[in-house]
Structure formats: structure tokens, C-alpha cells
Amino acid sequence: MTDIAKPKAGSPVPPIPEIAAPARPPTSPARILRPYLRGGEAAELIGVSVRTLEKYRCTGGGPPFLKVGSRVLYLREDVEAWLQRHRCQNTSDNNYAAALREMPSRRNRP
């Protein structure tokens, strides 16, 4: 049979030590250096939700993206350039008006 000793009836069973998974940083160094970002990573970099980024893909106004099979990827340089194009000093800035014109229409909202 087996060589494993069974505990005797009535004797306490030693607790099984819990093994904690090592803490992983939210963004690992490998992800920081990758040239392509997934949707969630690009949304985090921009500061919007994944759903907002999906809307930008459908209606326009977001950063350029790549469609590889069923996966959507963003080139990190494109996302950073898109952010720089939307940089404004104040609400009278020409970039502010251009950014508003570039955003999708809100006509269908209640």
C-alpha cells in the first residue's frame, strides 16, 4: 500500500501552511518596454475606461490602432502622440477647440 502514515483518531491535524502568491507589480518592466499596448493598458495610459476607448474606435477621435485577428493593439508612440495633440494650456488654446471638434458627436445622447 502506501508508506504515508495516517494520523491516529483523535490526534490534532497540523494546519496546512498557506502559500502566498508573490506580489506582482501592476505594470511589470516587460510591459513598460513593449511597443504595443492592449486595450486596457492603453486606456490606463490615457486615463479613460476601456469602454470609452472602444467608443473612440467606433466613432473616431481616439488614437490609431491595429487590428490583428481579434486582438486590438495600440502602438505606444501613437498613444503618446495622441495625448500630446490634446495638450492645452487653457480653454482659449487652439488645441482645446481642435480637440473638441475631433471628439465624436453627442447628438444621440438624451
Domain with residue 38: its CATH number is 1.10.1660
Within a domain: residue 7? no
Q: Confirm whether 109 is domain-assigned.
A: no
- Asked whether the predicted pLDDT for residue 76 surpasses 70, the reply is yes
Provide mean pLDDT across the span 11-36: 65
> Which pTM value belongs to this model?
0.58
The pLDDT of residue 77: 94
Residue environment code for 49-78, b if the CB has 16+ CB neighbours within 10 A, otherwise e: eeeebeebbeeebbbebeeeeeebbbbbeb
11 domain residue, yes or no: no
Domain that residue 46 falls in:
29-102
Decide if 13 is inside a domain: no
In a domain, 41, yes or no: yes
Residue 24, domain member (yes or no): no
Reported as a pLDDT band with limits 50, 70 and 90, residue 80 is very high
Mean pLDDT of 34-63: 91
Please indicate whether residue 105 or residue 84 has the higher confidence score (pLDDT).
Answer: 84
Nearest CA among 63, 71, 60, 62 for reference residue 38? 71
Residue 110 lies in a domain: no
Report the number of distinct structural domains present in the chain: 1
Q: Does 6 fall in a domain?
A: no
pLDDT band at 89 (very low <50, low <70, confident <90, very high): confident
